Structure 1
Amino acid sequence: MKFLFDFLPVLLFFVAYKLFDIYVATGVAIVATLAQSGWLWITTRKVGTMQLTTLAIILIFGGLTLFLRDEQFIKWKPTVINWLFGGAFLLSQVVGRQTAIERLLGSNLALPSPVWRRLNLAWTAFFFVLGGVNLYVMTYYDRDTWVNFKLFGMLGLTLVFVVAQSFYLSRYVKESEEEDE
């Protein structure tokens, strides 16, 4: 459910783009991300680092898009966010007791340290590749194709990655369950 909640601003961006234009869609994405962060604060009294980073980037790049009337800024947003997350995950490999992915999922999974580190590196690579693919699509394809990729392509790639990761993790989850019995 959280995954869908996180994609809500992207979905609303897509709908607003199809109904209006890139600038209305950018405004909708800004408002939706602000509302999403506000909702998280009201309901949980905390907003995660990833959410705050996304909010800052949408405010900066979305704001520049609207202020300068230049769609290139909003097109760069997914690349910047993914590369920032990739950098943060990579940095967590060498700084701190836990990797970024372990901090995010550690309460739900019990995995050996080497598995957490491999999983973290996989997410690092995924974020860098996804940012690069966005850069490629925004550079070599038209705006309509980029908007469709932003919703369907990025969501599809993320789902495929999560499913592949689930297959990889399934052998460790089974071992953990057997140890609990």
Structure 2
Amino acid sequence: MTDQAGPRPINPMLKSALEFGPLLAFFAAYLALKDRIFTIGGTEYEGFIVVTAGFIPVFLIATGLLWKLTRHLSRMQLVTAVLIVIFGGLSVWLNDDRFFKMKPTLIYLLFGTALGIGLLRGESWLRAVMEGLMPLKQEGWMILTRRVMLMFFGLAVLNEVIWRTMSTETWVYFKTFGLTAAVFAFFMTQSSLFKTYAIEDEAEADKPAE
């Protein structure tokens, strides 16, 4: 879902609000409703399930607005949206929070596997997603892709450990802040790689990889 002319520029604050707003709204709603039980159609639902049911349309609306404004959604955003609908829907339909808690695991496994397949083909599929943000030499992209792949697998394992061994509230905090902080911290630790393999010459940046 990409406009032929490329993504349309929008206000960075608005873009961040559309990307992270639904997650923060989920967190706030969970804190407000976590101890409540709702009876709907004769079935009792915990606050977490009700908040999950509300999160799905909010997320889809925000994603739709992001596409309308930019005419662009990355493959990662599309996959995330599909999995949120599937696993969030299963949690609500079956009244079982485990499906929604498993969603990050599936997302990170899919992304990690996709990057691994690209590496086996001698390609950096991460480059297609992030090249506009950080121009690197091909060797740098391959190293970064391997590291990001391992990060995704590590986060998948970590999510499984958290939701299976700790409380729902702990998982919500982890999902809202822990995963984002972990990704941010990871890229902060890659500063030496960015310096070593950065492309400073514009002509070199446009040169296709051999």
Partner of 1:76: 102
Of 29, 47, 51, the match for 1:16: 29
Please give the alpha-carbon distance, in whole angstroms, between the structure 2 residues aligned to 1:158 and 1:108: 16
Conserved? CA contact 2:115–2:124, under 8 Å: yes
Partner of 2:76: 50
Tell me, yes or no, if structure 1 residue 133 matches structure 2 residue 166.
no
Which letter does structure 1 place at the counterpart of 2:196? Answer: R
Please give the alpha-carbon distance, in whole angstroms, between the structure 2 residues aligned to 1:114 and 1:164: 18
Aligned ranges 1:158-177 → 2 under 5 Å: 158-173=183-198, 176-177=199-200
Deviations 1:8-65 (A, max 9, x none): 3322221111111211221232122201221122112232211111111000100011
Residue segments in structure 1 that go unaligned for 5+ positions in a row: none
Deviation at 1:5, TM superposition (A): 4.4
Please give the alpha-carbon distance, in whole angstroms, between the structure 1 residues aligned to 2:21 and 2:147: 25
TM-score by length of 2: 0.76
Secondary structure at the counterpart of residue 169 of structure 1? helix
Higher normalized helix content (fraction of residues):
1
TM-score by length of 1: 0.88
Which letter does structure 1 place at the counterpart of 2:139? Answer: P
Please give the alpha-carbon distance, in whole angstroms, between the structure 2 residues aligned to 1:33 and 1:92: 29
Q: Aligned Cα RMSD in Å?
A: 2.0
Residue segments in structure 2 that go unaligned for 5+ positions in a row: 1-11, 34-46, 203-210
Partner of 1:88: 114
Partner of 2:179: 154
Conserved? CA contact 2:53–2:88, under 8 Å: yes
**Number of aligned residues:** 176
Computing the radius of gyration from Cα coordinates, the structure with the larger value is: 2
The range that moved more, 67-76 or 98-107, is 98-107
Which letter does structure 2 place at the counterpart of 1:146? Answer: W
Conserved? CA contact 1:11–1:151, under 8 Å: yes
Secondary structure at the counterpart of residue 120 of structure 2? coil
Please give the alpha-carbon distance, in whole angstroms, between the structure 2 residues aligned to 1:133 and 1:80: 12
Secondary structure at the counterpart of residue 111 of structure 1? coil
Secondary structure at the counterpart of residue 132 of structure 2? coil
Of 87, 102, 108, the match for 1:61: 87
